[in-house]
Amino acid sequence: MSSKHSITETEASITLHTPHLEIGFSKANGALNLLRPSGAGENWVGHGEPVATLDARLGTRWLGTEHSASFLAHAVEETSKGVKLTIAMALGSLHLHDVYTISGPLIERRVVVENAGAEEVQLNGVRLIVPWVRLGEADECRFEAPGTAVRPRLPLRVAAQERLDRSPSDEFAPAAPARWGLSMEDAPDCTPGLLAVHHSARGETLLCWYFSEVEAGTPRVDGNDTALSLIHEPILAGWLAPGRSLAGGSQFLLLHHGSWDEALSAFRVHYKHVGILPPLYGQPPAWVREAAIYEVHPGQFGGFRGLSEALPRLREMGINTLYLMPIWAYDNRNGQIWDENWTGSGSPYAMRDFERFEPTLGTQEDFRHLVDEAHRLGMRLLLDFVAQGCALDARYVREHPEWFCRDEAGNLVSSHGWIDTYSFDWANPDYHEYMLDWSLHLLREYGFDGYRVDAPHGKEPNWDRRIPYHASATNLGVLRLLERLQRGVKALNPEAVLLCELFGPVFVKSHDMACDYLPCVQTYQLLQQRLTPWEWGEWVRDHFASLPEGAVRVCFMETHDTRGFRPPAYGWRGSQLSRAGFAALLLAGFVPMIWSGQERGQEDFYHRLLRARRESAALLEGERLFNAVGCDNEWVLSVIIRHRNEVVWGVISLWPEKRTHHFEVPVIELGLEARTRYRLHDLIGERLGQVGNPTHWSEYGQTEWTGEELAHCALTPEPFTPYFWQIAS
């Protein structure tokens, strides 16, 4: 055996020692019960009642609720990737092989499920548990789950109140009700899947995440009041005959020493390790970061011709990119042009034929005119690429029944909550060929600028017994199609793009930019005072830091999907809160998107914001510093943005009355001179009614401050009014 590692075995346990860590398992049930850095005296796991650390679901039941696991054997070997330790255990009729590959402080964990019984079983998921994590005392630790609905900087003792069988509390994830009751959505299609326990005083972090390009996994936690189990549930599914086995994705563990920022940087290395970076397209076209997007259905303007006539007004407002909802023949329930009535008029996403334009919108020539008019005005146009499914009476149901997912009884199924569509099997190669041929033919024919990819998040298993692959191969099977689509799009037009509706890191590989729902949701929590501006800033900072480097994110206060949000986005339309939220997202560095109708009566406001962003290098591409400015009122949001010699200070007071606030600005860090006199140019203010001509802020007559005075200044912003102050001498 190599000197790089050693095994200690007793009657009760097995422990693997490496130069970086120690990891141990129970010989009663095979459970992980020891994990710590080498030489450390304190165990980082097992701070609670011993529990099995693997479970599997057969049909609808978790075996762990009916059976106790029992240890069978272990094996260890040196591999090119590191030391590989396999723990085999029995659970009901299954044998579970818990495989750990250890390289330095990083552990990759995979499970292989084997049917050891005499009858076929229906595997419908597995559960990987890192039990009862705590680094020191609970009061000294915090829990983090970047890129989810979880509150940032959460004390571990608060997180440890959560239970696996209960809905998330407001203290844990106040935004969960707006995300179907979920505090953490699947990884890697919706979130990074990163769960972490951090001890800031000791500079220690246990990071735990999940990755697969075949099946997504659901991050979850379970607490016992003083420690927290970190859990991922891969959606691994298939029919298993006796003797057959199935392997799932990887859960990763990283034992890190350093600050929280350094821990996040260490986590991001994972994206190169698993092949998300570098992306297929190299770098997105330059216009992507400058995009100001308008989401619209042509029916809202009377069809293709009506939308064409509206383009000059939209261009004047600052819009340079159109994203069109589906324009093909759909489940049109009244034969009239779509009027945003999803139930009475039908959903444009319930398409009957991908190869026919919806007749109420106009002809092929009308659409061609729309594309040409957009290009004449210097605008780009994206179409919806809807891979999820088709209408219940679509021709594909009759012509290609093998393209669809089925339940255990062989019936066609719906997906993602869409009851008016049947779900395509994303692993079917013939379906891939059709969608690829269709989409690239359209791009060649009409010369638009790419696609917005609709809802590619993991879907239900396909239980059709005739398929040559396992049931959950369809879960993220769309990834291969989207990678081929990206290559095909760039071959036709290097400036064309894919905009993904989903925001998980796995899509950075094949998409130039992605819509991001969670910042919108968290901003609604901010505006309702369920998150403080400090928490919001920390959440946004960690969100960007946990994504692949260079990821371009699109955000909004409204889309066609936010009609069902809590609070209802349409009810906030035109309000000071809605405008403040949109401005906050722009300050945070997101590419802005406006939903058709959102701008009515607010055109001047959006004009000023979009123009300021277009003309300020800092707003477009500057470094964001969240919570760098101190304030005596916690309900004042500040973001500092700097790019070369330009410094922009964004301020939004969310305090309900006008009052003077005292600020502490880090002038030295910003390169401002103590004796130099500065003005605050409001990039989105107006002077003498001239839009785009910035005003100088006047604090009861004072219009200049030395750098020394700015360091400790008193200002009186109007409540809920955004200010983009360019600090200039």
* pLDDT, tens only, 497-550: 999 999 999 999 999 999 999 999 999 999 999 999 999 999 999 999 999 999
With beta carbons less than 8 A apart as the criterion, state whether 187 and 209 touch.
yes
Identify the residue whose tokens are 């973001």.
Answer: 639
Q: Is 234 helix (H, G, I), strand (E, B) or coil?
A: strand
Measure Cα distances from 582 to 304, 569, 585, 635 in Å: 28, 12, 5, 17
Residue that the structure tokens 């260079």 belong to: 550
The confidence band for 563, taking pLDDT boundaries of 50, 70 and 90, is confident
Q: Residue 697 burial by CB count (10 A; 0-12/13-18/19+): exposed, middle or buried?
A: buried
Tell me the whole-structure pTM to 2 decimals: 0.96
Largest CA distance in the chain: 86
Q: What CA–CA distance (Å, rounded) separates 636 from 134? A: 34
Q: What is the dihedral of CA 664, 670, 672, 677, to 10 degrees?
A: -60
pLDDT in tens, 366-389: 999 999 999 999 999 999 999 999
Percentage, residues of the chain above pLDDT 70: 98
What lies within 8 Å, CB to CB, of 552 at 6+ separation is 284, 288, 289, 512, 513, 514, 591
Q: How many CB atoms lie within 10 A of CB 164?
A: 12
Instruction: Report the percent of the chain where pLDDT is more than 90.
Output: 95
Question: What does the alpha-carbon distance between residue 194 and residue 269 come to, in Å, rounded to a whole number?
Answer: 13
**pLDDT tens digit string along 89-102?**
999 999 999 999 99
Conformation bin of residue 39: beta by default, left when phi > 0, alpha when psi is -120 to 50: left
SS (H, E, C) 104-115: CCEEEEEEEEEE
pLDDT at 3: 56
Give the phi and the psi of residue 448 in degrees, each rounded to 5: -75, -170
Tell me what pLDDT residue 686 has: 65
Q: What is the pLDDT of residue 19?
A: 96
CB 467, CB 406: distance < 8 Å: no
> What DSSP element (H or E) covers 483?
helix 478-492
SS3 569: helix
pLDDT at 485: 98
Q: Structure tokens of 651?
A: 């301020």
Cα–Cα distance measured from residue 712 to residue 729, given in angstroms and rounded to the nearest whole number = 17
Q: How confident is the model at residue 110 (pLDDT cuts 50, 70, 90)?
A: very high
- Confidence grade of residue 688 (pLDDT, cut at 50, 70, 90): very low
- Both tokens of 346, joined, read 């039908």
Q: Are 111 and 247 in contact (CB under 8 A)?
A: yes
Residue 41's pLDDT is what? 87
Over residues 194-238, the pLDDT tens digits come to: 999 999 999 999 999 999 999 999 999 999 999 999 999 999 999
Q: Which residue has the tokens 């390009």?
A: 213
The answer to which of 377-386, 400-409, 415-424, 426-435 has the lowest mean pLDDT is 415-424
| Rounded CA separation 30/97 (Å) | 10
CA distance 588 to 571: 24
Confidence of residue 685 (pLDDT cuts 50, 70, 90): confident
Q: Classify 504 as helix, strand or coil.
A: coil
What pLDDT is attached to residue 541? 98
**What pLDDT shows up at residue 249?**
96
What is the amino acid identity at position 440? L
Cα–Cα nearest to 268, from 256, 282, 284: 256
Q: What is the pLDDT of residues 346-369, one digit of tens each?
A: 999 999 999 999 999 999 999 999
Owner of token pair 């009186």 = 716
Alpha-carbon torsion 206, 215, 475, 355, what sign?
A: positive
Give which of 669, 661, 660, 655 is closest to 727, Cα–Cα: 669
Residue given tokens 């990819």 in the structure block: 453
- Local structure of residue 279 (DSSP, 8 states): -
What is the rounded average pLDDT of the residues 31-52?
95
Q: List, for residues 603-643, the tens digit of each pLDDT value.
A: 999 999 999 999 999 999 999 999 999 999 999 999 999 99
Predicted pLDDT of residue 564: 77
State whether residue 465 is helix, strand or coil.
coil
Cα–Cα distance, 259 to 244 (Å, whole number) = 45
Domains and CATH numbers, the chain: 48-273 (2.70.98), 289-617 (3.20.20.80), 623-728 (2.60.40.1180)
pLDDT at 689: 38
How far is 663 from 679, CA to CA, in rounded Å?
16
Question: 481 with 387: CB under 8 angstroms?
Answer: yes
Query: Of 449, 581, 559, 579, which is closest to residue 515 (Cα–Cα)?
Result: 559
Distances (CA, A) of 384 to 14, 324, 367, 415, 474: 54, 6, 14, 18, 21
Rounded mean pLDDT of 583-606? 97
Is the pLDDT higher at 590 or at 687? 590
CA separation, residue 522 to residues 177, 192, 375, 385 (Å): 11, 17, 35, 27
HEC letters along 127-187: EEEEEEECCCCHHHCEEECCCCCCCCCEEHHHHCCCCCCCCCCCCCCCCHHHHCCCCCCCE
Distance CA 280, CA 508 (A): 9
Confidence label for 694 from pLDDT (cuts 50, 70 and 90): low
* Contact present, 4 and 18 (Cβ < 8 Å): yes
Distance (Å, rounded) from C-alpha 559 to C-alpha 597? 10
3-state SS assignment for residue 108: strand
Q: How far is CA 130 from the centre of its chain?
A: 23
